[in-house]
Chain A
Amino acid sequence: MKFTEDHEWLRVDGDLVVIGITEHAAEQLGDVVFVELPEAGTQVSSGDDIVVIESVKAASDIAAPVDGEVVEVNDALADTPGLVNADPLGSAWFVKMKVDDPSQLDGFMSEDEYKDMIA
């Protein structure tokens, strides 16, 4: 698993990359009550806002960490947005992307590096 400075995680799954947010991010957001996901098939560039998370406190945007195509979104989050708090590293993934340039992943942090950053 790789981590971004924006508290997202990326997990390689075959030729796709699964993207979510870290436990630390979920805790900071507070109780999540709504998640707005992009449509499958959307082409995005790194830095584009692709997900909106509404917590009891505020709305937060999640940006695409890489360039590529969103091929699948986690529809379960529409009915159970609380999964983001309950299982941020597992069942609360947001999107699966087909990455244009897999070498983009090399620039992200390892788990240890991420833990150092939030320490």
Chain B
Amino acid sequence: MPNLNRTPLHDLHCELDARMVPFAGYEMPVQYYDGVLWEHLHTRASAGLFDVSHMGQVRVSADTLEEAQLALEALVPVSVLGIPEGRQRYGLFTGEAGGILDDLMIANQGDDLLLVVNAATKEQDIAHLSANLAGCSVTPITDRALLALQGPASEAALSDHVPGVAEMRFMDTSVLDWNGVELWVSRSGYTGEDGYEVSVPSSKARALAEALLASEAVIPIGLGARDSLRLEAGLCLYGSDIDTTTTPVEAALEWAIQKARRRDGEREGGFPGASRILEELESGAPRRRVGVLPDGRAPIRAGARIFREGSDDPVGEVTSGGFGPSLGRPVSMGYVEIELSGTGTALEAEVRGKRMPVTVADMPFRPSTFKR
């Protein structure tokens, strides 16, 4: 495909008969031979290997770690100073109006910070960091691939090669050796399952992927199942469920804003959009991201408008939706007016001109199985 980037695993995907599609400027596998449904179920039952090398890995460093942490706090409503060495935390870049510019992972690697940002937004994120992190150096890491191994068999499959991963807990990060290759491992992911994300030098990515795929427990997983897995787990897709028009409070991501950055916290505010976001943390937002369960069997996808029963004025919109293979039913998420966001609220969504009954539901739709 012309003008598309390729990850270090491109040839492997093709050899594994992946169906390749353009995604965020990359040629990426959407599914392999067995198809999305099977890949999804296999990940939950055993383990799946995902190529997420299209995502951006960025190092942020300064004279001291603390200097880098405090500098980054000017761009995210997260207590970066509160991330201990060897841990990572979910974060958001916010805009002046309180919207979300991107979501990311922030890891404390001891001497500096390692950020993982979305593929489609990585160029703008890097520009944003470079322009606004006073006294820091911002270094895009372009010589490493990123693999995710997700599912209950992940620990056994990865610790066969890298024994140290077994001791890690959810959101721990560690620099580990694999036959002389330096791996940056975090126990995290985007599926609601226990698992790992592994940053590996590009030249060794294929060897690591093949070593993991040699395990009977592990099959390769494409973007299709990645999306249905994260949807069942209630996790946001940037650009669909959150974007510059949604605030962290509207998006039900208050948990990503620690006490230290809230009103009366030790480092209150000081991030873009703080006035609106701090106010919404106290008094709420007019709409909220919720789970939306179709009562029927038809999937209700992004863009479907939501209504009160029998009314023609929309009260919300579905932002992600599809079939949840582990639940055997369709699942969606979206935004509704705050007074309609209570669990169990009966509403309607419009699909192909027809109204379908839906019910507001808690997320995740399926309990997560992180190793805390």
Contact = CB atoms under 8 A, between A and B. Distances in A.
Interface stretch (A51-59, A65-73, A94-102): A51-59
A30 B299 contact: no
Interface size class of B (residues with CB under 8 A): 10 to 19
A22 to B, nearest CB: 17
Interface in A87-116: none
Contacts of B298: 34, 36, 52, 54
Contacts of B188: none
Contacts of B40: 56
Given A30-B224, A34-B297, A56 B352 contact: no
21 contacts: A30-B37, A31-B35, A31-B37, A33-B37, A33-B299, A33-B323, A34-B298, A34-B299, A34-B330, A52-B352, A54-B298, A54-B299, A54-B323, A56-B36, A56-B40, A56-B322, A56-B325, A57-B36, A58-B301, A59-B301, A78-B297
Contacts of B301: 58-59
Interface of A: 30-31, 33-34, 36, 52, 54, 56-59, 78
B31 interface: yes
Contacts of B332: none
B109 interface: no
Contacts of A36: 298
A36 B330 CA distance: 14
Contacts of A52: 298, 352
Contacts of B37: 30-31, 33, 56
Q: Is the interface of B mostly helix, strand, loop or mixed?
A: mixed
B193 to A, nearest CB: 18
B25 to A, nearest CB: 20
Nearest to A33: B323
Given A30-B35, A31-B38, A33-B299, 10 more contacts: A31-B36, A33-B37, A33-B323, A34-B297, A34-B323, A54-B298, A54-B299, A56-B36, A59-B299, A59-B352
Nearest to A79: B297
B228 interface: yes
A6 B353 CA distance: 24
Contact of B224 (A34, A54, A56, A59): A56
B297 A56 contact: no
A56 B330 contact: no
Contacts of A58: 301
Contacts of B297: 34, 78
Instruction: Give 9 nearest A-B pairs by CB, closest first.
Output: A31-B37, A33-B323, A56-B36, A54-B299, A34-B298, A31-B35, A34-B297, A56-B323, A30-B36
Contacts of B35: 30-31, 56
Contacts of B31: 30
Among A31, A34, A36, A56, find the residue whose CB has the most chain B CB atoms closer than 10 A.
Answer: A56
Contacts of B36: 30-31, 56-57
A26 to B, nearest CB: 11
B135 to A, nearest CB: 47
Contacts of A33: 37, 299, 323, 330
Interface in B281-307: 297-299, 301
Nearest to A78: B297
A78 B297 CA distance: 8
Nearest to A52: B352
A56 B325 CA distance: 9
A30 B223 CA distance: 13
B37 to A, nearest CB: 4
A34 B224 CA distance: 17
Interface in B1-47: 30-31, 35-38, 40
Contacts of B322: 56
A36 B301 CA distance: 15
Interface string B323-356: 1010000100000000000000000000010000
B30 to A, nearest CB: 8
